[in-house]
Structure 1
Amino acid sequence: MFNAIEVILICLVAQAALTDLAIRKIPNVLILSGLMLALILHLLSGQPGAPVSQWLAGGFAGFFLFLPLYLLRGMAAGDVKLMAMVGAFAGPWQVLQIAALSVLAGGGMALLMLLFNGRWRDIAHNLKLICTPLLLRLLGMPLLPVPLPPKASVGGIPYGVAIALGTVAVVVWRHH
């Protein structure tokens, strides 16, 4: 049987996924209320140290797992904050599993989107632009910055959906 923390977490990530699909944003109010709910539930759990060992450590773990993707412009800030909220519920060890499954789900979603929108050539061109300087650097030439054209993106994915899929999969697996 699922506990209250897991049920509320699933409801919150489902709402985040639906909102991300509908308006391509994850509202800060959803993240903040989720963080507060997780803290309250960990305080009420009666486990000594749960607010620090689960809520705080999990939130930081979730945040810092996805922060590099945001810094590389591969993900929006709302997705990073959502993973921090998920970590605050799940704790540091479980958020690692959730992040791994979310990345796999997001990669699958990205491949499907490329398949259906026919932008394979655009992504091949972008990869060539990004990888050529790295290959030249391996040959001993200086590394130069690579500005991508303003319209270089081949499209974003609603990563809130991938995070929701990863979260639900890990929670359900724990009870299987």
Structure 2
Amino acid sequence: MLNAIEVILICLVAQAALTDLAMRKIPNVLILSGLMLALILHLLSGQPGSSVSLWLAGGFAGLFLFLPLYLLRGMAAGDVKLMAMVGAFVGPWQALQVAALSALIGGAIALLMLLWSGRWRDSARNLRLICKPLLLRLLGVPLMPVPLPPQASVGGIPYGVAIALGTVGLVAWQHH
């Protein structure tokens, strides 16, 4: 049986996924509401000190797990904030599990989108452009970094969907 925290979390990530699919954006009001709900629910759980520390540790874990991807421009800020919200609900260890599961699901979604759109050749070209200088540097050849040509991106994915599916997957796994 799902508890209140899990039900509310699933509703929030489902809304984030739907909004991400429709608008390619996850609203800050959804994230802030989720963070406050997580805090309130943890406080009502009956463990005064540990509930706030679990909320904080989970939120920071969720934030810092995807922050490097945002800084490398591989992920949008809304996705990072959504992962922080999920972490605030589930705590740091489960935030790591959700992030790992979301990364696997996100990779599968990305591959499906590349195949569906027919842009897999462009993606392979971009990967070659990125990896060639890195491989040559590993072999000791001094090179300048080669930037991708303008508009070389093959598109983004609605990563809120991957985070939502990762969250639901973790909750389902805990109850099987």
Give the unaligned 5+ runs of structure 2: none
1:135 Cα deviation (Å)? 1.1
Query: Retained in 2: the 8 A contact 1:54–1:91?
Result: yes
Paired position in structure 1 for 2:111:
111
Percent same amino acid at aligned positions?
85
Mean alpha-carbon deviation: is it higher for 71-80 or for 10-19? 71-80
What TM-score does the superposition give when structure 1 sets the normalisation length?
0.96
Match of 2:144, SS? coil
Letter of the aligned partner of 2:89 in structure 1? Answer: F
Letter of the aligned partner of 2:57 in structure 1? Answer: A
Q: How does 1:80-99 map to 2 (within 5 A)?
A: 80-99=80-99
State the distance in 2 between where 1:59 and 1:109 align: 25
1:143 Cα deviation (Å)? 4.6
1:164 counterpart = 2:149: no
Paired position in structure 1 for 2:147:
147
State the distance in 2 between where 1:161 and 1:54 align: 25
1:141 Cα deviation (Å)? 2.2
Q: How does 1:35-46 map to 2 (within 5 A)?
A: 35-46=35-46
What TM-score does the superposition give when structure 2 sets the normalisation length?
0.96
State the distance in 1 between where 2:42 and 2:90 align: 10
Query: Retained in 1: the 8 A contact 2:62–2:86?
Result: yes
State the distance in 1 between where 2:143 and 2:9 align: 44
Paired position in structure 1 for 2:133:
133
State the distance in 1 between where 2:94 and 2:174 align: 10
State the distance in 2 between where 1:147 and 1:74 align: 15
Paired position in structure 1 for 2:27:
27
Query: Retained in 1: the 8 A contact 2:102–2:163?
Result: yes
Mean alpha-carbon deviation: is it higher for 42-51 or for 91-100? 42-51
Q: Give the 4+ runs in structure 1 shifted more than 4 A.
A: none
Query: Retained in 1: the 8 A contact 2:39–2:55?
Result: yes
Write out per-residue CA displacement over residues 4-27 of structure 1, whole angstroms, 9 at most, x where no aligned residue: 111100000000000000000000
State the distance in 2 between where 1:22 and 1:50 align: 37
* Gap change, CA 1:118 and 1:40, over 3 Å in 2: same
Match of 1:108, SS? helix
1:79 counterpart = 2:79: yes
Query: Retained in 1: the 8 A contact 2:54–2:88?
Result: yes
What is the RMSD of the two structures over their aligned residues, measured on CA atoms? Answer: 1.0
